[in-house]
Structure 1
Amino acid sequence: MSGIIGKKVGMTSIFDAEGKNIPCTVIEAGPCVVTQVKTVETDGYAAVQLAYDEKKEKNTTAALKGHFAKAGTAPKRKMVEFKYFEVEKTLGEVVDVTLFEEGDYVDVVGTSKGKGFQGVVKRHGFGGVGMQTHGQHNRMRAPGSLGASSFPSRVFKGMRMAGRTGGSRVKIQNLQIVKVFAEQNLLVVSGSIPGAKGSYVLIEK
């Protein structure tokens, strides 16, 4: 599966030919450098490793400096492997937005915004107590009963309770590419994608 690493820039909207307003997300995609080509003979599987977003050499370990030097590129912040790349790639080759065309459908992977520790209403969509009545006290957003007492005398695994919300890997599938700006390395895809502005995303073709 071909792909590229990018950054979420933000959201905008575009009018189509029929005058319909389409909400879109702008992604700065690449350019990425091929820093390793894995093969079945040497690594046990075939994959292409891409690197994106330059960083200072002083913040790079000696092992990674040598790894990037083999590809003839400066140290990068983000490295991702893509299996089953459609087009054969060579070490040091640059992959940019020309990999995509307007009208293509892609899957976008990102890390959702972290919400911290949240209750069941926000985390799982519980309705809570609709109206407060006599005797109700601080029960509006409470989770309610968790389980039986004497049997089974425990709470089952998977019980929807309060806890850490967000900050997880999320894939949004079948987003259409509306515009490709090759000079600025920008992709405009329909719909929203997970993550905050400036966060890394993977665009899979």
Structure 2
Amino acid sequence: GYNAVQIGYEEVPERKLTKGQRGHLSKAGTPQVRRLRELRYSNTPEFAPGDVIKADIFADGDFVDVVGISKGKGFAGAVKRHGFAGGPKTHGQSDRHRATGSRGAGTTPGHTFPGSKAPGQMGNHRVTIQNLKVALVDAERNLLAIRGSVPGPRGSLVLVREAVKKSKG
């Protein structure tokens, strides 16, 4: 097994949840919440069911990882998505200027390998930005100011957790 704690956010009326969600939350004796995330803990957490976790669990100078959904850019070609150079603009080329070019070897292996860089959906993926420094903790207003880039558009939900690769400052 492993040690973990489930964190809920955004209280909603019971009718807005599925029967399974209602049962899970009522069994724990916690408020009915829309969003639920599980975070692993290396040691036993000091939280009891129903506890409210505020921003003051972090301190100025701590390093954190921020997880969120990046801004969606839609379907993008290989030049925009992966920085491909494209083909020559002259010397008789037509409609090859922003094409991917050769995609693989010859008859053997006879197919394109999975994971190769190609056009497709750009953005709108789960992204973790690591080792960001906490600039300010405002306990009164329950605010956390973080120095650096945070994934996603304004107003999107992010998960802030202790940095995995860096210790406290």
Quickly name the TM-score band, shorter chain normalised.
0.7 to 0.9
Counterpart code for 1:106: V
Q: How many residues align?
A: 161
Q: Aligned partners of 1:95, 1:142: CA distance in 2, in Å?
A: 50
Among 113, 118, 124, the residue aligned to 1:156: 113
Q: Which residue of 2 aligns with 1:77?
A: 34
Q: Which residue of 1 aligns with 2:63?
A: 105
TM-score normalised by L of structure 1? 0.70
Partner deviation per Cα, 1:156-193 (whole Å, 9 max, x = no partner):
33321111222222111110111112222211100111
How does 1:30-179 map onto structure 2 within 5 Å?
Answer: 44-84=1-41, 87-129=45-87, 132-179=89-136
Q: Aligned partners of 2:139, 2:28: CA distance in 1, in Å?
A: 23
1:70, CA displacement in angstroms? 4.2
Indicate the SS of the match to 1:101: coil
Among 145, 151, 155, the residue aligned to 1:188: 145
Alpha carbons of 1:152 and 1:70: their partners in 2 closer, same or farther (altered >3 Å)?
closer
Give the fraction of aligned pairs with identical amino acids, expressed as a percent. Answer: 49
Alpha carbons of 1:154 and 1:185: their partners in 2 closer, same or farther (altered >3 Å)?
same
Q: Aligned partners of 2:14, 2:72: CA distance in 1, in Å?
A: 30
Q: Aligned partners of 1:93, 1:85: CA distance in 2, in Å?
A: 19
Q: Aligned partners of 1:67, 1:153: CA distance in 2, in Å?
A: 50
Q: Is the 8 A contact 2:61 2:135 kept in 1?
A: yes
Q: Which has the higher strand share?
A: 1
Q: Which runs of 5+ in 1 are unaligned?
A: 1-43
Larger mean CA deviation between 116-125 and 152-161 belongs to: 152-161
Q: Which runs of 5+ in 2 are unaligned?
A: 163-169
